[in-house]
A and B are shown apart, each in its own frame.
Chain A
Amino acid sequence: DAGITQSPRHKVTETGTPVTLRCHQTENHRYMYWYRQDPGHGLRLIHYSYGVKDTDKGEVSDGYSVSRSKTEDFLLTLESATSSQTSVYFCAISDSGADTGELFFGEGSRLTVL
C-alpha cells in the first residue's frame, strides 16, 4: 500500500470553527489532491498540488484553502466550518499527471460539522 496517512481520521466540530486536515506521504510523489466524497456526488476535487508551494483550485474549492510547504505534507484548512462541509475527505497522491498516473488514496477523514 502507498504510504499515505491522513489525520485526524474522525473529527466532530462546531459551525464556525477552523479545521485543518493533514495528509502525509512517504512516496515522494509530486502530485497531491484533496477530494470530498458525498452520497450522490461521488468524488469531487477540492484542491490539488503539483509541487511544493504550487497549488490550484478544483471544482468545489470555496471555503477551503491548502498549503504544501514540504513534498510530503498537504494540508487542507476549512477557514470557518459549515454544516455543508460535513463529508468524508480523501487525500490522494500521484507520481505523474492525470493522463498517465494512478491515484493512490488515503483511508479518509470523516468530518462532522454540527
Chain B
Amino acid sequence: QQQVKQSPQSLIVQKGGISIINCAYENTAFDYFPWYQQFPGKGPALLIAIRPDVSEKKEGRFTISFNKSAKQFSLHIMDSQPGDSATYFCAASHSGTYKYIFGTGTRLKVLA
C-alpha cells in the first residue's frame, strides 16, 4: 500500500532551536517529495520540495534531507521562530500520477 508515515505527531521547540520532522515511505517509485505548511484556518501551502537525485535541499531556514536507501526524508527548521508554529505535512508522488500521498501531519509549536 502506498503510505507515507510521518513523525512526531506533535513537537514543541524553544525559539532558536531546531525542529525536525521525519517521514518514511514504502513505494520506491516515488520521485517527488514536497512539504506543506498549514496555519490554523488556512489551506496547506507548499514550503519546499525535493527529488531523489539530491540528498539535501535548503531554502532559507528550511532544509530537506533525503535518504534514498532508507526511504526516509526529513524537514529541518533551523533557528525556529514562533511564526513557524503550524502543522507540517510531508507528501510523496511519482511520475505519471495525478495523486499525492500525504503524511498524517505534525503540529509544531515554537515557544517564544
A residues in contact (CB < 8 Å) with B: 4, 31, 35, 40-45, 48, 50, 56, 58, 90, 92, 97-100, 102-108
Contact = CB atoms under 8 A, between A and B. Distances in A.
A42 B98 contact: no
Given A43-B89, A92-B43, 6 more contacts: A42-B6, A42-B102, A58-B99, A97-B95, A102-B34, A107-B42
B57 interface: no
Contacts of A90: 43-44
B98 A97 contact: yes
A98 B43 contact: no
Nearest to A98: B93
Interface string B11-39: 00000000000000000000110101000
Contacts of B103: 42
Contacts of A35: 102
